[in-house]
Amino acid sequence: MQKLLQLQDFGGPGAKTLDEVRREAAQGGCSSTGGSGKASCGSGAGQGDLSPEVWDKVKNHPCYSEQAHHHFARMHVAVAPACNIQCNYCNRKYDCANESRPGVVSEKLTPEQAARKVLTVASTIPQMTVLGVAGPGDPLANPGKTFKTFELVAETAPDIKLCLSTNGLTLPDHVDRIQAMNVDHVTITINMVDPEIGAKIYPWIFYNHRRIEGVEASRILSERQLLGLEMLTARGILVKVNSVMIPGVNDKHLVEVNRAVKSRGAFLHNIMPLISEPEHGTVFGLTGQRGPTAQELKALQDACEGEMNMMRHCRQCRADAVGLLGEDRSAEFSTDKVMEMEVEYDLEARQAYQAKVEQEREVIARAKQAELAKLADETSAIKIQVAVATKGGGRVNEHFGHAHEFQIYEVSTTGAKFIGHRRVDLYCEGGYASADGVEPIIRALNDCSAVLVAKIGVCPKDSLEGAGIEAVETYAFEFIEKSVIAYFKDYLERVGKSEIRHVVRGDADIRQGAFIET
Amino acid sequence: MAYKIIASQCTSCSACEPECPNVAIYEKGGTFVINPKKCTECLGHFDVPQCVAVCPVENTCVIDNSVPRYQAPA
């Protein structure tokens, strides 16, 4: 019950004025140079420049805190199939078992089934702290189903944070209900604030019983998005903004979007690469609109980072994703299985796990600080990127061949900064190297000087070396950031002794498709 | 006298169901269908048929030629 009361304190009525929220947001901006942490930059356990109040809300939320996403899991339930706008990067027709675009889902759930699934997953996975409704349509185009799901979950699992992700068209109509249900995080996808640009992204919206096309559609959409954002921040509800980076369409414009959303109190901006394979049948897929390269994405994120906190750990997961950000366990929790499973919701056990994680995070932060102190006398201008194979817990603990993705850190004498995930196709399947070999992975990691792994075979190690990427097992099972900094120190020493030559790396590929466990 | 939904194209997204002013749309066998006895082509309610306007797949909610067009009561 105490927990319930605490939860109700979150963003409760009249919690903060808009000015206060804006001041906080303004303070939240962090420098693009020398961020020693990452998304929430700064030091310590990751709080960075966020106010204690905001940090308290986001610290256990894997979608909002890069630190948290090593330790906590989220799940999405697909209760909201209907949508009220059409986006050129989405095709609602395409939905099959092989589908792996973000937002796409194969199994629709009723609110009752969804609530049951949430309880089952939360009982099995104590890390599961967050429930999101994100589609496959728009949660607020299905308000009845979305809010019914939240209501049912809040009744039995009051410690689970509720959040939703919307296109914003009907957001102003639902702000009161969002607040009443203690939804403490809302994500709005804002791809433009200029309707002329919007017209290239959104062919139509359905609004006030009419289908509206062209620039007019985007004008209305943008107005509603920004109004919704202002209304939420005025009520103290945290708002993250997602933007899809579409080269040649809105890439340069997103800097302006960043300023617009920051000034209205958004606390985090997540710029994601466009996914547009022709086989997805989206307009952009069919017209050959390309997505950004890894370095194009990073350059834009860096440009916006001086303005506000940037989120870089988004994994663009599916609307029915279950698990830590590095995994998808949705197959274990299909509706049939969930209905048969015994559910015992143990709040105490969940809280005990979360307390343990808190301690571990302190240890990780201290280890990183200690390692960083060793770099204090270095003055080199060298900056490199290092890839890390991990399966969670904030450690270098994944075998190269088993990695579905790598975490990329940028490291310089000012510290190590997480800059993103790189998805790859599994190198090792059933003990054999994949037919495509290590080449696609090299392309995905091409901007990195090294990859830290728990273990790697001789063949891929040689191939990587040939491409100028050093494969390093020295830091197996150590903390990630500490290891990245230690590797960098060693790198500088070897450059100093002319044992190796510092090379400025090129660009890298962003793999298409959302993350799914294969 | 009605619209129909081409089942092979329906994504079952349910967007049309709550928009129908006549409550003529319901789920059947995994996709949505329109009850032709209830459909008024939105005449008297809206300028455009709501199912057509909200459907994400073009040419999926179409006039059902097997029944006569809807006539508004005089």
CATH of the domain at A312: 3.20.20.70
For residues A304 and A255, the answer to whether their CB atoms sit within 8 Å is yes
Structure tokens at A288: 């050959």
Say if residue A327 is in the same domain as residue A428.
no
In a domain, A363, yes or no: no
Please give the full DSSP string across A214-237, using - where no structure is assigned: HHHHHHHHHHHHHHHHHHHHHTT-
Q: Which domain, by its residues, includes B8?
A: 3-63
The CA distance from A315 to A510, in Å, is 12
Of B9, B13, B50, the CB nearest to A82: B13
Say if residue A402 is in the same domain as residue A322.
no
Give Cβ neighbours of residue A415 (< 8 Å, ≥ 6 apart). Answer: A34, A35, A36, A37, A372, A375, A485
Contact A141 B15 (CB under 8 A): yes
Q: How far is CA A32 from CA A36, A223, A266, A414, A471, in A?
A: 10, 30, 18, 12, 28
Closest CA to A10 of A170, A165, A189, A160: A160
What is the count of structural domains for chain B? 1
CATH code for position B8? 3.30.70.20
In a domain, A368, yes or no: no
Q: How close does chain B come to A208, measured CA to CA in Å?
A: 10
Structure tokens at A315: 């994994």
pLDDT given for residue A40 in this prediction: 29
pLDDT given for residue A58 in this prediction: 72
Surface-to-core class of residue A395, CB atoms within 10 Å of its CB (0-12 exposed, 13-18 middle, 19+ buried): buried
Closest CA to A167 of A186, A181, A195: A186
The CA distance from A362 to A274, in Å, is 36
At A288, the amino acid letter reads G
CATH code for position A430? 3.30.420.130
Q: Which of residues 5-64 of B touch A (CB under 8 A)?
A: 9, 11-15, 17-19, 46-48, 50, 53-54, 56-57
Beta bridge partners of A74: A130, A323
In a domain, A466, yes or no: yes
For residue A211, what is the nearest residue in chain B, using CA coordinates? B53
For residue B42, what is the nearest residue in chain A, using CA coordinates? A209
Say if residue A384 is in the same domain as residue A270.
no
Q: Cite the beta strand spans of A285-330 per DSSP E.
A: 310-311, 322-324
Beta bridge partners of B33: B26
Closest CA to A323 of A229, A404, A230: A404
pLDDT given for residue A35 in this prediction: 29
What is the count of structural domains for chain A? 2
For residues A484 and A416, the answer to whether their CB atoms sit within 8 Å is yes
For residue B17, what is the nearest residue in chain A, using CA coordinates? A82
A207 phi and psi angles, rounded to 5 deg: -145, 135
Q: How many CB pairs under 8 A join A and B?
A: 49
The CA distance from A469 to A386, in Å, is 9
Say if residue A314 is in the same domain as residue A447.
no
pLDDT given for residue A218 in this prediction: 97
Beta bridge partners of A239: A186
Q: How many CB atoms lie within 10 A of CB A207?
A: 18
For residues A290 and A247, the answer to whether their CB atoms sit within 8 Å is yes
pLDDT given for residue A209 in this prediction: 95
In a domain, B26, yes or no: yes
Choosing among A211, A282, A286, which should be mutated to test the B contact, i.e. which has the most B CBs within 10 A? A211
Contact A137 B13 (CB under 8 A): yes
Tally the C-alpha atoms within 13 A of residue A110's C-alpha that lie toward its C-beta: 3
In a domain, A516, yes or no: no
For residue B12, what is the nearest residue in chain A, using CA coordinates? A81
Q: Which domain, by its residues, includes A400?
A: 374-496
Enclosing H/E stretch for A8 = helix A2-9
Contact A86 B56 (CB under 8 A): yes
What confidence tens digit (pLDDT) does each residue in B4-59 have? 999 988 988 999 999 999 999 999 988 899 999 999 999 989 999 999 999 999 99
Of A95, A142, A209, the CB nearest to B46: A209
pTM greater than 0.80 (yes/no): no
Q: How many CB atoms lie within 10 A of CB B32?
A: 24
For residue A81, what is the nearest residue in chain B, using CA coordinates? B13
Closest CA to A3 of A177, A182, A125: A182
The CA distance from A426 to A297, in Å, is 23
pLDDT given for residue A307 in this prediction: 59
Say if residue A281 is in the same domain as residue A412.
no
pLDDT given for residue A94 in this prediction: 58
Contacts of B53 in chain A (CB under 8 A): 206, 209-211
Say if residue A412 is in the same domain as residue A332.
no
Q: How far is CA A36 from CA A214, A304, A309, A323, A373, in A?
A: 44, 17, 13, 28, 12
Contacts of A92 in chain B (CB under 8 A): 11, 13, 56-57
Chain A interface, Cβ < 8 Å to B = 81-84, 86, 92-93, 95, 108, 136-137, 141-142, 144, 206, 209-211
ipTM for the complex? 0.92
Compute mean pLDDT per 10 residues along chain A, 518 residues long, and list them: 31 38 38 30 45 73 68 82 92 56 64 90 83 87 95 90 94 96 92 97 96 97 97 94 95 95 91 84 90 91 78 63 61 75 78 83 86 84 92 87 88 88 74 73 91 93 93 94 93 92 85 50
Of B11, B18, B48, the CB nearest to A211: B48
Enclosing H/E stretch for A472 = strand A470-472
Q: How far is CA A41 from CA A28, A88, A309, A415, A487, in A?
A: 10, 33, 8, 10, 20
Closest CA to B6 of B38, B30, B33, B37: B33
Contacts of A206 in chain B (CB under 8 A): 15, 53-54
pLDDT given for residue A287 in this prediction: 93
CA-based max dimension of chain A: 71
In a domain, A505, yes or no: no
In a domain, A449, yes or no: yes
Contacts of A81 in chain B (CB under 8 A): 11-15
